[in-house]
Structure 1
Amino acid sequence: MEFLDWLRTHVWAAWLGAAIVLGLAEMVSLDLVLIMLAGGALVGMVAALLGLPVGVQVVLAAGASVAALALVRPSMVRRLHSGPDLTLGHDKLLGHQGVVTETVSALQTGRVRLDGEIWSAQPYDHTLTLQPGQVVEVLEIRGATAYVHPVPTLEA
């Protein structure tokens, strides 16, 4: 009976405890649902500190939780999931420029320097022959061969 008497006078502490437990559980789930419920529990705590009846506290806490789930969570999830695409492996070289170090033609696999590494290369357009010193752009990579195309230059 002592605990119930204490709880009646300290309902705000129960709301605070619920908010803390939900906040800690959010650290494990990381789906941004439990943190919204924790926010609702904090609204319930404020209502309890203002002396509002328990029924009103529950309604306010539930309303704040639903509102946060509907209005705040979608934008937070969108913001957390947006960002630059991560390109790994060979795909990171697509669109990069390099320099021909050995003649590249459809009949002869040549070499190009890409990002400080030497790659075997073939011309993307099989009718072209690319000479050493020519600047090229990587259009495709198949296996360990870069398929390149010359970068147009402005001549004076």
Structure 2
Amino acid sequence: MPDLVQYLWIAWLVLAVLFVIIELLTLEFTFLMLAAGTLIGGLGANLLGTVWWVQVLAAAAISALLLFTIRPLLLRALHRSSQHIPTNVDALTGMSARVVTAFVEGDGSVKLDNGETWTARLTDLTTTVGPGERVTVTAVRGATVLVAPEQGSASA
């Protein structure tokens, strides 16, 4: 009967490929570090002819080292290059709108430039804004947008 320890290098390669496949699904660099530790530590120690438990310790040590040193640097570099792009309700702030119904006691409705009609409230109740005039969204409070007249379109 053959000694299975002599085929341990196949197990290291299969484990590394498995970690790379999982990494492709998660994209968090965790399993990439485990794959590198498996190849460098486990397979490397195997090729040097060490016993199986030394190979496991080497793979674990190098994986841990990579997880706590290289992975944070890679994540920081990845997130540094991506800028924050406002979406959904966050994207409404600063958007222009046209008044649909007149504001009564500060409440009315506007049609945003993206085509949505929202209930609106004036930020400054001393100004008057009529239908068809342009306003700018200053904030979103629940299902209501706070608006202010655009420069040159408000009549006081």
So what's the TM-score if we normalise by structure 1? 0.67
Counterpart of 2:144, as a letter, is T
2:85 aligned with 1:94, yes or no?
Answer: no
Task: Supply the distance in 1 between the matched residues of 2:148 and 2:115 (Cα, whole angstroms).
Answer: 18
Task: Supply the distance in 1 between the matched residues of 2:126 and 2:151 (Cα, whole angstroms).
Answer: 16
Task: Supply the distance in 1 between the matched residues of 2:22 and 2:120 (Cα, whole angstroms).
Answer: 53
| CA positional deviation for 1:16 | 1.3
CA RMSD of aligned residues (A): 3.5
Task: Supply the distance in 1 between the matched residues of 2:141 and 2:60 (Cα, whole angstroms).
Answer: 56
- The aligned residue for residue 62 of structure 2 is 64
CA shift in 2, pair 1:137/1:73, >3 Å: same
- The aligned residue for residue 106 of structure 1 is 105
Task: Supply the distance in 1 between the matched residues of 2:69 and 2:142 (Cα, whole angstroms).
Answer: 47
Contact residue 100 and residue 132 of structure 1 kept, 8 A: yes
Pairing of 1:1-150 with structure 2 (within 5 A)? 1-2=1-2, 4=3, 6-8=4-6, 10-23=7-20, 32-43=29-40, 44-49=42-47, 51-54=48-51, 57-58=55-56, 60-78=58-76, 79=78, 84=84, 87-88=87-88, 90-106=89-105, 109-114=107-112, 115-150=114-149
Aligned residues between the structures: 148
Gaps of 5+ in 2: none
| CA positional deviation for 1:42 | 0.8
Task: Supply the distance in 2 between the matched residues of 1:21 and 1:99 (Cα, whole angstroms).
Answer: 56
Cα deviation digits, residues 107-132 of structure 1 (max 9, x gap):
6x433220213333231111110133
Task: Supply the distance in 2 between the matched residues of 1:149 and 1:141 (Cα, whole angstroms).
Answer: 12
Task: Supply the distance in 1 between the matched residues of 2:109 and 2:60 (Cα, whole angstroms).
Answer: 66
CA shift in 2, pair 1:63/1:139, >3 Å: same
So what's the TM-score if we normalise by structure 2? 0.67
Gaps of 5+ in 1: none
Q: Secondary structure at the match of 1:99?
A: strand
Counterpart of 1:121, as a letter, is A
Task: Supply the distance in 2 between the matched residues of 1:101 and 1:129 (Cα, whole angstroms).
Answer: 14
